Structure 1
Amino acid sequence: MRQNPSFTLAEVAEIRRIVDANPWATIVSHGPDGLVSSHYVVLLDDDHDDLTVVGHVGRPDDLIHGLGDGELLVVFQGPHGYISPGWYGDVPSVPTWNYTAVHLAGIPEILSDEENLAVLDRLVDRFEGRMPEPRRMWERPNDPAFVTRLATGTVGFRLTPTRVVAKRKLSQNKPAEIVETVIAELEAVGPYRQPALADEMRRAQQARVGGRS
């Protein structure tokens, strides 16, 4: 992802927020047969306060990716959407796309069976916990034999990135009044309504005014 100083996201806490809020990630590597990508849920590692993440792939994706043997790129995509030139007013302009994205790259560590089980357990808790009657991994009708058998079909990994590229292209290069107009259009009823993107734009605008990343 090409970086641009105007759109650089450098604050670790903000990058962690994007990763945590958008756990459905794209995993990319250069495997034995060339470039390959997969899609899995990836979470921040509870045992670290940096950008270390944990996740898993199903077998044989570990072999396809050569997991643990080379660099892995994990891509998180935040809110994004179309920006109409008509929202800029009567000035020369073209359409664009606003977005937030985080790229974490490094050589992953393969988790032990016990560590992988713990990550899978946490993964279920993270999403099932929001249900009115959660069905957690170790609860009936599941039994330990079923859970263990299921887990053996996965390979867990931990990635502490050695390269981080994070970017939020959210109209920071536009005057404040235009940014406010775009935010209002994204919140209004229409074909390109995207309130989550409007929230990210507002956050970026506040950071720009406050002099933060």
Structure 2
Amino acid sequence: MRQNPSFAMTDVGEIRRLIHLNPWVTLVSQTDDGLVASHYAVMLDDTRDDLTIVGHVGKPDDAILGLGERELLVVVQGPHGYITPRWYGDVPAVPTWNFVSAHLSGIPELLSPDENLRVLERLVDRFEGDGDDARGLYRLPNDEAFIERLERGTVGFRLTPTRVTAKRKLSQNKTAEVVETIIAGLADEGPERAPLVAEMRRAADARVRP
């Protein structure tokens, strides 16, 4: 991802927030047969305060990706959307696309079966929600045979990135007035634009904060 100083996101806390809010990532690896990609959910490692992530892949994706043997690129995609030049006023302009994204690269560490199981349990706990559903929450069965099948079918990993590129392109190169016009225009387009509106508002507020 080409970096631009105007849009660079370097604050670790903000990148952690991006990962937490957008756990469905793309895993990319270079193999002898060319590039391969897979899609899985990841989480921040709860024992660390850096950008270390944990996750798992199903077999044989571990072998296809060369997990633990070669560099892995993790693409985290946040809110994004089309920006029309109509919102810029009567000036020469072209359309663009606003987005928030991060690339994390490094050689992942393979987890032990016990660590992998803990990651799986954390994933389930997070996405099952708060238990308001009358049917109750799902939990991984505490059954030895079931756990053995899980261990045979998945491979957990921990990635502490050695290279990070994060970008928040949210019209920071426009005047505050134009940014407000863009935010209003996006909001008028419907609720599906809400995540991008929220990110633009966050960036705009940070811009004027002393």
> When the two structures are superposed, what TM-score results if normalisation uses the length of structure 1?
0.93
Give the structure 2 partner of residue 138 of structure 1: 141
> Which whole-Å deviations, capped at 9, do the CAs of 1:141-177 have from their partners, x for residues lacking one?
xx33213312320110000000000000000000000
**Inter-partner Cα distance in structure 2 for 1:193 and 1:62:** 34
1:79 and 2:82 are equivalent in the alignment: no
SS at match of 1:67: coil
Separation of aligned partners in 1, 2:148 and 2:123: 15
Q: Distance in 1 between matches of 2:185 and 2:94?
A: 16
SS of the equivalent of 1:103 reads strand
3-state SS in 1 of match to 2:49: coil
Sort the Cα spacing of 1:129 and 1:147 in 2 relative to 1 into closer, same or farther, 3 A.
farther
Name the SS for the 2:120 alignment partner. helix
What is the Cα deviation at residue 90 of structure 1? Answer: 1.1
Residue 30 of structure 1: aligned partner: 30
What is the CA distance between 1:120 and its match in structure 2? 0.5
Q: How many angstroms does 1:138 deviate by?
A: 2.8
SS at match of 2:146: helix
Indicate conservation of the 8 Å contact 1:58/1:153, yes or no: yes
Q: Which residue of 1 aligns with 2:8?
A: 8
Deviates more, 1:37-46 or 1:199-208: 199-208
Residue 37 of structure 1 aligns to which amino acid in structure 2? A
Sequence identity percentage: 65
Letter in 1 for 2:13: A
Segments of structure 2 that go 5 or more residues without pairing to the other structure are none
CA displacement, residues 68-95 of structure 1 (integer Å, 9 cap, x when unaligned)? 1111010110000010111111111111
TM-score where L is the length of structure 2? 0.94
* Residue identity matched to 1:203: R
Match of 1:117 in 2: 117
**Which residue of the partner structure matches residue 173 of structure 1?**
173
Distance 1:83 1:148 in 2: 50
Shift of 1:30: 0.7
Q: What SS does the aligned partner of 2:6 have? A: helix
Q: Indicate conservation of the 8 Å contact 1:32/1:65, yes or no.
A: no
Q: Deviations over 1:104-130 (max 9, x none)?
A: 100100001110011011111110134
> Using a 3 Å threshold, how does the CA distance of structure 1 residues 2 and 189 change in structure 2: closer, same or farther?
closer
| Aligned mates of 2:171, 2:189 — CA distance in 1 | 20
**1:78 and 1:28 mapped to 2: Cα distance?**
17
Secondary structure, aligned partner of 2:155: strand
- Structure 1: runs of 5 or more not aligned: none
Shift of 1:193: 5.4
Residue aligning to 2:208: 209
For the pair 1:198 / 2:201, whether they are aligned, the reply is no
- Deviations for 1:44-75, whole angstroms, at most 9, x for unmatched residues? 00000000000111111111111111110101
Q: Residues 155 and 32 from structure 1, CA distance in 2 versus in 1: closer, same or farther, beyond 3 angstroms? A: farther
Amino acid at match of 1:207: A
Match of 1:91 in 2: 91
Equivalent in the alignment of 2:44: 44
Q: CA RMSD in A?
A: 1.5
Residue identity in the other structure for 2:174: K
Cα distance in 1 for residues equivalent to 2:31 and 2:128: 33
State how many pairs are aligned: 207
